[in-house]
Structure 1
Amino acid sequence: MALSADTQISVPVGPVPVPPLRSEGDGRQPTPVWVLGALGVFSAAALTGACWVSGHVHADPTLQTTARFLHLAAMVVGLGAVLAVDWFAILWLLGRRRLADILNTATTLQVPIWGGLAGLLVTGLFLSPNMESKLTLTKITLVLVITLNGLYAHWLGQRLERYQYRDTGVPVRFLVQSGAAATVSQTGWWGAGVIGFLNSQS
């Protein structure tokens, strides 16, 4: 249909509608604390079982070499993903990134992080670790700490979701907890990596 020169087109004037603020009850429900606690107990049991099994597995040199390479690959994948998440967390704490950025990054990289941990656990079965070595026991402890800290970070991230689209600031306690989780994460991953390197030289 053609418009004449005298035809006027009215454009509605008014405030642009904005999406409502997300609240704690919107979207998916947070993972129940008892589920995270059960996963923590399961992780500790799985790690203990892996330590026991590793003392009864006698891999040939070829299998040990393959397992050592895959162990290193799992460390690279897991640590790389953790570095990305924690770097975004630091930038957020410094006011250089939005909270939504770190939450999206953490959600995206959950698979390589947990995949890296699982890879460390499985490949470690074939490396004949010396369970009487203090370094080895320290590394196992660090892996457990990393796992439990990951579950805690998951819990914390779900609590932070309610603030990512609000103008109000994040409570100080969540800022402190986020910084502590990132510190534990980096300490655990780098500590486990260094100990693994030292054990490979002995």
Structure 2
Amino acid sequence: MPRSPRLTTATADVASVPASGPPLTPQLTPAWLLAAVGLLATAFIAGACWTAGHVHADGSLQTVARFLHLAFLTVSFGSVLAVDWFAVLWLTGRRPLSVVLDTACALQTPIWAGLGGLVVTGLFLRPDLGSTLTLVKLGLVVAVTLNGLWAHRLGQLLDGFRDSAVPRGLLVRSGVAATVSQTGWWGSCLIGFLNSQS
């Protein structure tokens, strides 16, 4: 027996009404998985530092590595700046939170791929591991990496508040993550510039 068009229309109208209630519980990446990725990433950076002391690249290889290093920096840091800029627009009421979250999700791949490329190409640039500035830069790279994993978790938590007010505590943690990110990236760039002048 065919359904009544009136009943079908009424059902569709009810389904289209947004449900009101508490924010949805987001699907979070397990903490143990984030910790494992953080340990692996830190070990990868440490292994790259050890390998850099045993790699003797000639001038042409260093030139190629330096170009790729800058290219990866542009891709990764540029993506981070885009996400943080949209976050500023959201905090000033000029963009909705959904735009920030969608942008961050779309740019995760270039951010992490660029960061990995920076570590790999850095192997061929003869980093002076006896220099305090270089060690500080490596510390900043580790901090940016671990902070990126923390920011991933914060993004998942924020996703549950797309259409509602974000708790102050979550806002503060997000602000801290953004500050660590910008400090780490700009600090690394500054130290890299200073090292290139010596």
| TM-score, L = length of structure 2 | 0.89
What is the identity, as a one-letter code, of the residue corresponding to 1:178?
S
Q: Distance in 1 between matches of 2:54 and 2:15?
A: 67
1:143-158 alignment runs, 5 A limit: 143-158=141-156
What is the identity, as a one-letter code, of the residue corresponding to 1:104?
D
Classify the secondary structure of the residue corresponding to 2:195: helix
For the Cα contact (< 8 Å) 1:88–1:102, is it kept in 2? yes
Q: Deviations over 1:4-35 (max 9, x none)?
A: xxxxxx9x68778234466115xxx3210110
Classify the secondary structure of the residue corresponding to 1:24: coil
Q: Deviations over 1:44-83 (max 9, x none)?
A: 1111110000000000110011101111111111110000
Q: Which runs of 4+ in 1 moved over 3 A?
A: 12-16, 19-22
Aligned counterpart for 1:99 among listed residues 97, 100, 106 = 97
Aligned counterpart for 1:83 among listed residues 81, 89, 92 = 81
| TM-score, L = length of structure 1 | 0.87
Deviation at 1:140, TM superposition (A): 0.5
For the Cα contact (< 8 Å) 1:90–1:179, is it kept in 2? no
2:43 counterpart residue number: 45
| Greater helix fraction, Structure 1 or Structure 2 | 2
| Ranges in structure 1 where 5+ consecutive residues have no aligned partner | 1-9
What is the identity, as a one-letter code, of the residue corresponding to 1:17?
S
1:113-128 alignment runs, 5 A limit: 113-128=111-126
Q: Distance in 2 between matches of 1:98 and 1:119?
A: 32
1:129 counterpart residue number: 127
Percent identical residues: 58
Q: Computing the radius of gyration over CA atoms, which structure comes out larger, 1 or 2?
A: 1
Classify the secondary structure of the residue corresponding to 1:56: coil
Q: Distance in 2 between matches of 1:37 and 1:115?
A: 19
Deviation at 1:95, TM superposition (A): 2.0
2:190 counterpart residue number: 194
1:5 counterpart residue number: none
Aligned length: 189
Aligned counterpart for 1:34 among listed residues 32, 35, 38 = 32
| Ranges in structure 2 where 5+ consecutive residues have no aligned partner | 1-5
Deviation at 1:85, TM superposition (A): 0.2
For the Cα contact (< 8 Å) 1:93–1:175, is it kept in 2? no
Q: What do you get for the CA RMSD once the two structures are aligned?
A: 2.0
Q: Distance in 1 between matches of 2:61 and 2:186?
A: 26
Aligned counterpart for 2:67 among listed residues 46, 66, 69 = 69
Q: Indicate how the Cα distance of structure 1 residues 16 and 120 shifts in structure 2: closer, same or farther if over 3 A, else same.
A: same
Aligned counterpart for 1:140 among listed residues 138, 141, 165 = 138
Q: Indicate how the Cα distance of structure 1 residues 38 and 16 shifts in structure 2: closer, same or farther if over 3 A, else same.
A: closer
Classify the secondary structure of the residue corresponding to 1:131: coil
